[in-house]
Every structure is written in C-alpha cells, then in structure tokens.
Amino acid sequence: MYKELGISEEVSNLVNKCEDELTEEFKKIDKITELNSIKVLNAFHKNNVSESCFNETTGYGYNDLGRDTIEKVFSDILGSEDALVRNQFISGSHALNVCFFALLRPNDLLLSISGTPYDTLHEVIGIKENNSSLKSYGIKYDEIDLVNNDFDYERIKEYLNTNKVKVIEIQRSKGYSTRKSISIDKIEKVIKLIKEINKDIIIMVDNCYCELVSLKEPTEVGADIMVGSLIKNLGGGIAPNGAYIAGKKELIELCAERLTLPGEGREVGPSLGINKQLLQGIYLAPSVISSAVKTAILVSKVLEELGYDVEPKYNEERVDIVQNIIFRDRNKLIEFTRGVQQGSAIDSNAVVEPSDMPGYDDQVIMASGSFTQGSSIELSCDGPLREPYIAYFQGSLTYDYGKLGLMKALERII
C-alpha cells in the first residue's frame, strides 16, 4: 500500500524502524493530552456550552451568546481572567498588532527580551520603516537578546533599573530564528524577576504554536496578556480563521476597544456562523496538538538518523509544535518542502516555489496543502531562503497523515 502512494520500501522501513523507538516519548505526550483534555471538557461544562451557542449573529453582532461563551471557555482553558476570541482578527500577527497599539501610547517604551521579534512585527514596531508603525506614533523600542537560549537576566535587571519600560514582549516560539523555543519554567522565572523590579510593567507573550503543548500557559505563571492564532494550535484545524488575546480583564478591554472602536469594544463583532467551528476546534485541540507533536518527534528522529542536525531532538522537552531541520543546503530545503506538499491533502500536485511574502524580509518557501489557507496546525513546512536553510515543519491533523507526509518528503531528499 505504501507503493501505491509512491513511497519506497527504503523510506517506509526507515520511518517504521524509527517509530518503533518512540514508544516512551509518545507515552509522555499521551499523558499531557489527557490532562489538557480534562481542562477543555471542564471549561465546556462550567460555561454550559449548549446548542444555542452555535447560533450566528450578523451585522453589528450584538448579543452573541456563542461568541461570549467561547471567550469564557478560552479564558478558563488558558487560566486567564478574560479573553478576546474573534474572527475579526485576520491572523496572529494582526492580534499582536492590536495588542501593541492597545497597550502603548506615544513616548512609551516597548522592550523585547527574547531578541528580535517575529518577521511580520518588524513593520508594526518600526524596526523596518513603515508610515503606520508604532515608531511613527512616537513609541520607542529596544531589545535584549537571549544568551545560550535563555534570558539575559543580568542585562534585563540592569535595563529595567535604568529605563522606564511600559510593555515587555516575550516571544516563546522561535519564529524563523535559530534559537530554541522558550519553556514555561523560564517564562515563570523571568516574570518573577521583572515583577520584583516593577510590578506595573505589562508582560505580553507571543504564545503562537505553544498552546496546550505543556501543562501550563504563560498567563498561569504571571504573564499579563498573551496572543495566539486560531489557524495554529487552539483552532484545532477546524477554525477557519481568527486569533485570541487572553489575560487581565482591563487589558483585554483595551484590546477590544482597539480591535473595534472606543465605546463599542467587545460588544460588537458578528460571529457570522463560525461559533460551532471554534467550539469544535478547541474541543479537538488537545488531540490535534498531540498528533502534531508526535509527528514532530518522528520527523526529528528520522532526520537525525539520516545525519541532519535537528532542533529539538526527539527526546527533548517540547515547547511548541515546530520541528526544525537544519539542511545547510538550499536545494534540500526546497525539495523537502516540495515533498511535504506532495504528501498533503489539498493541492498535492502543486510544485511549491520560494517567493516574496508580505511582511517577510527574505523569500519564503511554504508547503501548505491545507483545508484552511496557510494553516500550520495542518501538515505544513516552510522556511526563509537564507543560511543555514532551516525547514520549519509543523502539524498534521492526525499522526498518520503526518507520518505519510514525512515519507513523501523523504522520497525527494534520499
């Protein structure tokens, strides 16, 4: 049957052999999945999710029971006071943008303590010139790099003692960088340090790709506000678009007034019929994330076996659903990505090409043969065309499709 799919015996034997050695790793993931499922089911029960939540609103979107219930469900799952979960957010980047503009005012200082933020935020912040950036409104920005994949605690301390910082941004997942993603323990430690120096600094976390991979979320260890995309983890592959912001009530209010308009805030925003999909997505999220993490572990094991550098290694603790393969070869990155596209459900006959993308500095290649455009909780692989030619592999709605996608990709590089 593998042959019918164009998978050779060499590749299927290799992948199956590697899979046999992952029983212990998969067991650990299963435990996390069960505990996170308890969180989700509990939130559904507590907030009395009912069939009437599936009703839609149109126009202004007043009195949308489903939308308001979804926001309570999300805040309970994420252990936060409040949440804004909206289809009016175009993407995770848009929600991050709304969050920055909601929290910062002219002359305020924004500090990143996890190095340069995600590519799409460069024009938002003004790292790259744009007439609508935070910088164009007189909002200042500075950054402190990570050292050895951890926060530079000494420099952060010194900086906060000599500068008046309004918002600190922490990006957990690596984005298109070469560093490791940041664990919840490290987040907890640095938040403690910051709050000891000044409890009024707003700590904002870019939580993209990290939700429900561990047992705790940043808002449970002291972060004031956090942001993520619904076409990643918490959409469970079912949400057609949108993003969430979760955190302190008064900060969520500010974000709502920025997303819509001052005075109407969260009271408006029609759900346009997607409430059921958002609920089904968050319900499935623990197990979909589990499939994605297991696929990532398998990819890591197999590519390491083939002699490539991988990050993280198959037996390392997982912080997000992203698996890096450091190809150090432009052609290998392109071919592997093409293979992932060939193994996808949709547009499997498309030959992906590197191209310019809005918001990104380098050309990017992306395999996303997905039901939802650009969804990276679905089987996907992407990377900027720059040294050291790293593939960022994510997702798969089920482990089996992830494994098959990997096999198709291997056919193109072996």
Ligand X SMILES: *Cc1c(COP(=O)(O)O)cnc(C)c1O
Q: For residue 269, what are the contacts with CB-CB under 8 A and spacing of at least 6?
A: 61, 64, 67, 86, 87, 88, 259, 260
Smaller CB separation from ligand X, 66 or 175: 175
| Residue 23 burial (CB count, 10 A) | 8
Which of these ranges, 48-56, 75-83, 136-144, 167-175, lies near ligand X under the rule CB under 6 A? 167-175
Which CB sits closer to ligand X, 186 or 408? Answer: 186
Distance in Å, CB of 338 to ligand X, minimum: 21
> ∠ CA 193-197-202 to the nearest 5 degrees?
80
Tokens of 378: 């679905």
- Side-chain half-sphere CA neighbours of 212 within 13 A: 33
Q: How far is the CB of 221 from ligand X (least distance, A)?
A: 18
- Least distance CB 175 / ligand X (angstroms): 4
Q: Are 11 and 410 in contact (CB under 8 A)?
A: yes
Comparison of 76 and 217: residue with beta carbon closer to ligand X: 217
- Nearer to ligand X (CB atom), residue 93 or residue 342: 93
Q: Nearer Cβ to ligand X, position 205 or 397?
A: 205
Cα–Cα distance between 245 and 405 in angstroms, integer? 32
**Contact residue for ligand X among 36, 47, 80, 171 (CB under 6 A):** 171
Buried b (16+ CB within 10 A) or exposed e, 94-109: bbbbbbbbbbbeeebb
Q: Given the complex with ligand X, which of 75 and 177 has the nearer CB atom?
A: 177
Spatial separation of the C-alpha atoms in residues 406 and 142, rounded to whole Å: 40
Contact pattern from residue 120 through residue 139 relative to ligand X, giving x for each residue in contact according to CB under 6 A and a dash for the rest: x-------------------
Residues 81 and 75: their CA atoms lie apart, in Å, by 6
Contacting residue, 175, 218, 236, 247, with ligand X by CB under 6 A: 175
Residue number, 120 or 372, with CB nearest to ligand X: 120
Three-state secondary structure string covering 171-188: ECCCCCCCCCCCCHHHHH
Residue 109, strand partner residues: 140
Among 60, 56, 58, 59, which residue's Cα sits nearest to residue 70?
Answer: 56
- Residue type at position 307: G
Among 208, 212, 252, 413, the residue binding ligand X under the rule CB under 6 A is: 208
Q: What distance lies between CA 413 and its chain's CA centroid?
A: 28
- Region near ligand X per CB under 6 A, out of 12-20, 168-176, 289-297, 338-346: 168-176
Q: Among 92, 242, 281, 383, which residue sits at the site for ligand X (rule: CB under 6 A)?
A: 92
Residue 303 is encoded by which pair of tokens? 């590519």
Per CB under 6 A, the segment of 99-107, 170-178, 211-219, 360-368 that binds ligand X is 170-178
Only one of the segments 107-115, 135-143, 205-213, 274-282 lies at the binding site for ligand X (rule: CB under 6 A); that segment is 205-213
For the chain, counts of helices (H) and of strands (E): 11, 12
Minimum Å gap between C-beta 360 and ligand X is: 10
d(CA 381, CA 337): 6
For ligand X, the binding residues in 305-364 under the rule CB under 6 A are: none
Judged by DSSP in three states, 149 sits in: coil
> Nearer Cβ to ligand X, position 174 or 294?
174
Q: Which of 69, 173, 287, 341 binds ligand X (CB under 6 A)?
A: 173
Q: Which is nearer to ligand X, 11 or 234 (CB)?
A: 234
Selected from 118, 283, 308, 336, the binder of ligand X by CB under 6 A is 118
Region of 33-41, 86-94, 188-196, 283-291 interacting with ligand X (CB under 6 A): 86-94
Binders in 366-395 for ligand X, by CB under 6 A: none
Burial class (CB in 10 A: 0-12, 13-18, 19+), 393: buried
Nearest approach in angstroms of CB 63 to ligand X is 28
Q: From residue 224 to residue 263, what is the string marking binding to ligand X with x (rule CB under 6 A)?
A: -----x----------------------------------
Q: Which of 36, 93, 219, 372 binds ligand X (CB under 6 A)?
A: 93
How many amino acids of this chain bind ligand X (CB under 6 A)? 12
Q: How far is the CB of 93 from ligand X (least distance, A)?
A: 3
* Three-class DSSP category at 341: helix
Q: Give the span between the Cα atoms of 160 and 186, in whole angstroms.
A: 18
CA distances (Å), 344 to each of 92, 137, 300, 396, in order?
23, 43, 19, 9
- Which residues of this protein are in contact with ligand X, per CB under 6 A? 91-93, 118, 120, 171, 173, 175, 206, 208-209, 229
